[in-house]
A and B are shown apart, each in its own frame.
Chain A
Amino acid sequence: AQSVTQLDSHVSVSEGTPVLLRCNYSSSYSPSLFWYVQHPNKGLQLLLKYTSAATLVKGINGFEAEFKKSETSFHLTKPSAHMSDAAEYFCVVSTTTSGTYKYIFGTGTRLKVLA
């Protein structure tokens, strides 16, 4: 069965410093992986997706993620945190059963950005 594990439930960074949110996946075949962000009282917004085209994936708002098969990782990074990045981030794997797809979510990482 496919799954994702987010290694940190909370991450705090200072504004202007790099962000690293860690995600490891488990999959018996090449996975489709996503990062979503959830701001308070809002829905889930797609940041970026990996679907085997390129290992380094660029997303919105300066975020990017690198797919590393040898490490089964898909960590999310940003060079310089902004106050508006404070939110909850979800690593997601898309899994299929007989041609239908569904998302399996990680437990989420709450990012706090300090002034």
Chain B
Amino acid sequence: EPEVTQTPSHQVTQMGQEVILRCVPISNHLYFYWYRQILGQKVEFLVSFYNNEISEKSEIFDDQFSVERPDGSNFTLKIRSTKLEDSAMYFCASGGRVSGNQPQHFGDGTRLSIL
């Protein structure tokens, strides 16, 4: 069964550095998402992406964050000038071959640790 793959599984970065989290969505999916889960808290929506542009973003997704689909297969989340509070598990998801209300399929996540 097709899977969403995320790399790396664990990223350790010094505060203030930039990180790029990578995702390969399921190949025929059209909608892409990033969510995050701070330790002990609920999973939160960050951003949705469709047709090469952001569809919706949450209040969390400020100018520090950006997303890109650089080559038609990868979907990346860039976090500039990381802060301690960016430490979390970041999940990529894809879905919606036909519409955005199809179930979303999640990767195993990238655990981001900011030191």
Q: Residue among B33, B56, B91 with the most chain A CB within 10 A?
A: B56
| CA of A108 to CA of B96, assembled, Å | 24
Q: In the bound complex, do residue A96 and residue B45 qualify as a contact, i.e. CB atoms below 8 Å apart?
A: no
Q: In the bound complex, do residue B100 and residue A101 qualify as a contact, i.e. CB atoms below 8 Å apart?
A: yes
| CA of A97 to CA of B100, assembled, Å | 11
Q: In the bound complex, do residue B43 and residue A105 qualify as a contact, i.e. CB atoms below 8 Å apart?
A: yes
Count how many chain B residues have C-beta atoms less than 8 Å from C-beta atoms of the other chain. Answer: 26
- Asked whether B75 is an interface residue with its Cβ less than 8 Å from the other chain, the reply is no
- Asked whether B65 is an interface residue with its Cβ less than 8 Å from the other chain, the reply is no
Q: Which residue of B lies closest to A34 (CB)?
A: B103
- Asked whether A17 is an interface residue with its Cβ less than 8 Å from the other chain, the reply is no
Closest Cβ–Cβ distance, residue A26 to chain B (whole Å): 15
* From A43, A94, A97, contact of B101 by CB (8 A): A94
